[in-house]
């Protein structure tokens, strides 16, 4: 299956480089480009892509606002939004993931890892660069570390779903979770889907944030 992508970045050189990278890659088709957030929203509505690579700082409408509008107006299934930025600042991570972004990459990520990220995210896994993950965990430790006991938003989850959410929060893929819990990968996918539905989450990335904010995963915990 061909992955249809829109590239949104106000810097023409970076946008052009990404377009060239994806155009040369098998199984990927660039269906649109945008130089600002408002244009990204319009192009996404017109082309219904599988994925949008979204610069976080753009004129007219920033990447966070564009992500919000694209996901709110998208037909099902909505596109996966991968945020690209030169900044690994906590508030951008939380804002982007909070709006439903499926991944977060720095612009200095090597081309081969960007291509790998596209396939990883389309497979349903979260993708956040290690440097950003470390900042996310550190911020959670300072501001969001609470006991999982008595967290109302987790009360609807079964014990198995809580365990799956914990492992998702620790960065494990469905395959790794299946091996850890001695379950089939299809069963793990069902548990993940149930967790997302019960917690009203738009992406696996948001599940990672919930796992830290509720104390289900604590910084420094062994995988």
Distance CA 82, CA 55 (A): 9
In order, the DSSP letters of 91-110 are: HHHHHHHHTT-SEEEETTS-
**pLDDT tens digit sequence for 149-165:** 445 678 899 999 999 99
Comparing 83-92, 106-115, 156-165, which segment has the lowest mean pLDDT?
83-92
Token reading at 15: 């946008």
pTM for the model stands at 0.68
51: closest CA among 97, 3, 1? 3
| pLDDT value of position 219 | 58
User: Do 119 and 101 form a contact (C-beta atoms < 8 A)?
Assistant: no
Distance CA 165, CA 172 (A): 10
User: Do 171 and 208 form a contact (C-beta atoms < 8 A)?
Assistant: yes
Residue 102, phi then psi, degrees to nearest 5: -95, -10
| Number of residues written out for the chain | 223
């Amino acid at each position: 299956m061909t992955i249809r992508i829109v590239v949104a970045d106000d810097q023409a050189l970076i946008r052009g480089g990404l377009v060239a990278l994806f155009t040369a890659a098998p199984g990927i088709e660039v269906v649109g480009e945008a130089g600002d957030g408002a244009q990204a929203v319009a192009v996404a509505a017109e082309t219904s892509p599988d994925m949008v690579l979204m610069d976080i700082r753009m004129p007219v409408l920033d990447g966070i606002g564009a992500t919000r509008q694209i996901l709110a107006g998208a037909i099902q299934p909505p596109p996966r939004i991968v945020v690209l930025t030169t900044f690994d600042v906590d508030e951008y991570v939380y804002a982007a993931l909070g709006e439903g972004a499926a991944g977060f990459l720095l612009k200095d990520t090597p081309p081969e890892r960007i291509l790998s990220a596209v396939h990883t995210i389309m497979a349903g896994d979260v993708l956040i660069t290690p440097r950003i993950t470390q900042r996310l965990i550190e911020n959670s430790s300072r501001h969001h570390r609470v006991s999982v006991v008595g967290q109302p938003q987790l009360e609807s989850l079964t014990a198995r779903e809580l365990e799956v959410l914990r492992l998702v929060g620790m960065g494990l893929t469905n395959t790794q979770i299946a091996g850890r819990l001695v379950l089939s990968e299809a069963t793990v996918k069902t548990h993940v889907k149930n967790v997302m539905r019960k917690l009203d989450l738009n992406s696996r990335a948001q599940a990672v944030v919930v796992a830290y904010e509720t104390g289900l995963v604590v910084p420094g915990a062994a995988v």
